[in-house]
Structure 1
Amino acid sequence: MTKRKQSPKALYIHIPFCTNKCYYCDFNSFVLNGQPVDAYLAALEREMERTVKLLPPERVDTVFVGGGTPTVLTPAQMSRFLASVKRHFPVSGDAEFTMEANPGTTEADKLQAMREGGVNRISFGVQSFDNRLLERIGRIHSVDDVYRSLELARAAGFANLSIDLMFGLPGQTPELLEGSVERALALDLPHYSLYGLKVEENTLFHTLYERNELPLPSEEDELAMYVLIMNRLKAAGRRQYEISNFARPGFESRHNITYWRNEPYYGLGAGAHGYAHGLRHVNIKGVQPFIDAAAGDLPRLTEEQIPDNEAMEDFMMVGLRMLDGVRNADFAAQFPDSTIDGVFGTVLRPLLDAGLLERVEETDGYGYRLTERGVPLGNEVFGAFIAVAES
Structure 2
Amino acid sequence: MGKLKIKTYPGVAGIFFGLLTIAFFMTGSTGCTKMDDYKKQFVKGDLIYPAKPDTILVYSGDYRVRLSSVLTSDPNIVKSHIYWDSRSDSMEVDVKRTQGADTVSLLVKDLLEGSHTFEVVNEDAGGNRSVPVYAVGVVYGDKYRASLINRPIASSFLDTGLQVHLSFASMDESAGPILTELHYETTNDDSVRLTIGLDVTDTLLMDYKKGSAVVYRTYYRPDSLSIDTFKTAYDTYMPQIQDVWVDLTAKYLKNPGNPFYYSTWDGGRWGDLDQWITTPNVKNAGGYGGYEVKNHSMIAMESGWGKSAITNGKIYQSVYLPYSGKWRMTVNMNDLNDQGRKYILAAAGQQFPDIDHAEDQSLAYYEFSGNHGGDNISISFTIDQPGDVTLGFLASMTDNGSFFEVNNLKLEYSYSNN
Does TM-score exceed 0.5, indicating one fold?
Answer: no
TM-score using structure 2 length: 0.20
Larger proportion of strand: 2
TM-score using structure 1 length: 0.21
Between Structure 1 and Structure 2, whose CA radius of gyration is higher? 2
Larger proportion of helix: 1
